[in-house]
Structure 1
């Protein structure tokens, strides 16, 4: 019996079916372009030669110095035994104010009774920086001369009034003095009197100021101008302290000045020290022939 055969059919694609899918080709090309640009930056790889700026930087770093750029020869050593001159202090290019020692002229107790001996008042740490700041007062620009300012302090009301010393024989013009007093009044308006230990209610304190114009080297200011008036006391940067203490920390630092001063000694636990002064939370002590400041917590105070 003969087998039935299927007719063979041949399908011929049309020209449209043989065209590539341009949309897919575009997507693949775009992805490849992005990866080709981005991956060197992500991997930290530098493609291509250095730009002229980079080459210039390398030349400047690696090139040996020329004869014109060679280091200057070292100075010849000083002869043995020759005295070494200390460099002179260069004059300041800013207006400066040197503040002399403070003098207490009068003080009164809480009953408004005048006291003969006012003792010492720990006023310098808060008052001297304010007085030195008068160098920036507009009336003090280019000023050269001496002036005495008085501070009338009321600790109960926490007020400070700045006045010119009536006995001051200054050569500074009156209008300039008035301007300086106004600047000082603004500076002392918020004086932290709570940081100043005081025994009496009211004090009148005088400070002698010396103004130096730019280019002049400041020197120590002289005593207040009203020298004919007997002093009832003086200002100081520290209060008196008496007694002894014992270091309670494993290691306590003794500094040349409170808080940020140079360390002059290190004391171990149990070291006995002598107390000779105090400034807020710091005690002035003597130990082993050295004098310095130690934080009160280090001696359990």
Structure 2
């Protein structure tokens, strides 16, 4: 007799049975954290790239710096006077007073008394520029230069004084003379009032190498022939004047000088000197320079 087959039973899970077992998930996550993160740190194993050797100290210093640290308190201002500033680190040329050794009139006759010549405003800056001459770099010593001026032919020559007892090497002197000739090639002679045709003028120069120029540098003195006159920064002038502008500015030096006084129209002044288009005046306790247009001149 055949056996009867058992009926097939199909069980359908309920929705509650299909939910994940969160307890098991938590256990798996905890084990993964211990194996992947906590264990290397506890064992001292470095699982990332190392900081390059030359940047490691900087990285450690940055990491150890406190980001919220308060700024250091400012230091108290020093009570002692600051040290004197060192001499300028450049070549310096100090120009001595100009001395006229000879002069000739329009008939080429030598004059014994040459008087004064308003040459310094145009000549001294040229001489000071010799500090930039390649032959003068690092030079220390004294040198007398002679400037020969012919106002009729408008010629200027720069030569070495024959009686100058300089210790500067001849080759260096030659280089400085070449620089001097270039500097005086465009001398504005029209700005120099002159009484005679031809003048020979001497200027004593003192060269100081970079960093050696004293705070009050002594001006070199020209050597050679006896003086028949001298150069000046202003021409002689005299008389009186009256301010014709509403306001005339009185300056310490011509053109760009500090304003030392203001004069109203009608103010009378005493004229004591002149430099090109500017007059040196005196009024009360004030002395300064006024443009000629302000005096109606």
After the TM superposition, list the runs of 4 or more consecutive aligned residues in structure 1 that deviate by more than 6 angstroms: none
Confirm or deny that 1:222 pairs with 2:226. Answer: no
CA spacing shift, 1:66–1:128, aligned 2, 3 Å: farther
When the two structures are superposed, what TM-score results if normalisation uses the length of structure 1? 0.73
Q: Deviations over 1:97-151 (max 9, x none)?
A: 0000000000000100000000000000110000000001010010000000000
**Partners of 2:126 and 2:69 in 1: CA distance:** 52
Count residues in correspondence.
229
SS across alignment from 1:125: helix
**Partners of 2:183 and 2:97 in 1: CA distance:** 19
Q: CA deviation at 1:289?
A: 1.3
Residue in structure 2 matched with residue 265 of structure 1 by the alignment: 261
Residue in structure 1 matched with residue 147 of structure 2 by the alignment: 151
Q: 1:114 aligns with which of 104, 110, 113?
A: 110
When the two structures are superposed, what TM-score results if normalisation uses the length of structure 2? 0.74
Bigger radius of gyration, 1 or 2?
2
- Structure 2 segments unaligned to the other structure (5+ residues): 1-66
Confirm or deny that 1:67 pairs with 2:71. Answer: yes
Q: Deviations over 1:237-283 (max 9, x none)?
A: 11111000011111111000001101111111111100000011100
Confirm or deny that 1:165 pairs with 2:155. Answer: no
The alignment yields a C-alpha RMSD, in angstroms, of 1.9
**Partners of 1:211 and 1:160 in 2: CA distance:** 23
Contact in 2 for aligned 1:90/1:217 (Cα 8 Å): no
**Partners of 2:183 and 2:220 in 1: CA distance:** 23
Structural mapping, 1:67-216, within 5 Å: 67-68=71-72, 70-76=73-79, 88-216=84-212
Deviates more, 1:286-295 or 1:146-155: 286-295
**Partners of 1:146 and 1:66 in 2: CA distance:** 59
**Partners of 2:82 and 2:77 in 1: CA distance:** 20
CA spacing shift, 1:64–1:199, aligned 2, 3 Å: farther
**Partners of 2:295 and 2:91 in 1: CA distance:** 42
**Partners of 1:267 and 1:235 in 2: CA distance:** 31
**Partners of 2:232 and 2:268 in 1: CA distance:** 26
